[in-house]
Amino acid sequence: MVYALKYKANGSLERYRARLVAKGFTQIFVIDYQGTFALVAKMNTIQILFSLSANLGWCMQQYDIKNAFLHEELEEEVYMDPPSRFNL
């Protein structure tokens, strides 16, 4: 488990965060544990896509797939140890 504190813009404590991290042994402390990354398209790219769609008569649809990866079937086996705080 990786524990973190989230702070408001004024520096006061907003909430506590806990995240279950699989032991992949490829993470580097301070670099990979604290950061969260999301791929986001630039606004220029989205504008070009809309322009192409309008000019070429493409049909566009929007999907909200914020947590779609949580429901996907895995092709490989994943082994995890329970966090050390749990006594099994």
pLDDT digits (tens, 9 = 90+) for 33-59: 666 666 678 889 889 999 999 999 998
CA distances from 39 to 10, 33, 42, 60 (A): 27, 18, 10, 20
Residues 5 and 12: their CA atoms lie apart, in Å, by: 10
Kindly tell me if the per-residue pLDDT of 25 is higher than 80: no
What is the pTM (predicted TM-score) of this model?
0.34
pLDDT digits (tens, 9 = 90+) for 5-18: 889 999 899 888 88
Delimit the domains of the chain by residue range. Answer: 2-57
CA distances from 84 to 15, 16, 37, 79 (A): 23, 19, 26, 15
Residues 33 and 1: their CA atoms lie apart, in Å, by: 10
Greater model confidence, 87 or 75: 75
Greater model confidence, 37 or 61: 61
> Which tokens in the block code for residue 76?
């490989």
